Amino acid sequence: MATTNHQPPTTNAAFRASLRRRFESWARPRVPEALPIAIDRRRVYVLPTGFGLFFALLIGAMGLGALNDNNNPAWLLALLLSGAAMASLLVAHLQLSGLRIVAAGAEPIPAGESLSLRVHLRASDGRERRGLRVECGEAAAFASLADGAGEALLELPTTRRGWLQPGKLRISTRQPLGLAFAWCHAWPQVRLLVYPRPERDAPPLPDGGGEGTRARPDIAGDEPHHLRAYRSGDPRRNIAWKPSARHGALLVREYERREGAEIVLDWRELGGLPVETRISRLARWVDEAERRGKRYRLRLPGESLGPAQGPAHRHACLRALALLPHAID
């Protein structure tokens, strides 16, 4: 018996999404714009919704019936409803005309998490605006300008470290009656930083007595604390060879660092690992050093950061790691 392959029919949502992508390719603006961005009347587009088309058909039928029966009250009602529909088109246009995007930004987050993009809107005339939908790709949020100012919070997915350019924003509304759909586009010239994804099962922080570390001159070396199983990336100098021979498995000395010791996180000490794995491990060590309140230095190809600690130093280190080239020695 012959079998046939049945292709699923194209849904209305997919068809609308295809039309939207084609329209956005040539709709204003075509290049990124510097903030603040003013939305004027020439950038606002208005079309009737499905309900609006049904409403227009209904009014047309009422008008034809009133003319056929010579019913003046019905004709007057049809004219009043037509006027209300035309007024709703104008009001929908005015909801967007005069808007200004004054700022757009987000706090850096590790790759793989959702980045919270805040878009600050303001009405140049101070009028109240409600029901504004702000979209960026698949992310969407609503904003209301009760006092002439407001913001929308968009959750953007992230997959890789480095700079993220959000692309075009679409601001739309169906206010006040849902008969018309008004929208406009804006393309803020902003770059959002995405930190490297920290390694999940990274080895512990380098200690003061092993490779890639350095203690302060006025502080004595650290003492071994206990033995543990070897993990990939542990310095060879920390391997306890005699206990390892007795147990038949590699054991590593775990050091107890004294307060005030500076930790050196050196790119060169991880030379046997791929580039992205090295970056993820250093990112994890930076977070761990901050969590423990340790002073640390980050050594990367061509630059050295620290020694220091605190949010500013952490940001500088993670930013340097995020912006490293994908191919580096």
For the stretch 286-317, pLDDT in tens is: 999 999 888 999 999 888 988 888 999 999 99
- Look at residue 30 in the predicted model and tell me its pLDDT: 77
What mean pLDDT is predicted for residues 224-246?
76
- Give per-residue pLDDT as tens, 115-131: 999 999 999 888 888 88
Q: Which residue has the higher pLDDT, 127 or 107?
A: 107
What mean pLDDT is predicted for residues 82-100?
91
pLDDT band of 279, cuts 50, 70, 90: very high
Strand segments, DSSP code E, in 81-231 are 99-105, 109-110, 114-123, 129-136, 139-145, 149-157, 162-164, 169-173, 180-186, 192-195, 223-229
pLDDT band of 2, cuts 50, 70, 90: very low
- Look at residue 9 in the predicted model and tell me its pLDDT: 47
At residue 228, the 3 state secondary structure works out as strand
pTM for this structure? 0.71
pLDDT at 224 over 60: no
* 95: number of Cβ within 10 Å: 26
pLDDT at 217 over 80: no
The C-alpha atoms of residue 113 and residue 126 are separated, in whole angstroms, by: 36
pLDDT at 23 over 80: no
- Look at residue 261 in the predicted model and tell me its pLDDT: 63
pLDDT above 70 covers what percent of the chain? 82
Amino acid at 20: R
- Look at residue 102 in the predicted model and tell me its pLDDT: 93
What angle in degrees, to the nearest 10, is found between the helix axes of 72-96 and 50-69?
Answer: 160
pLDDT at 219 over 70: no
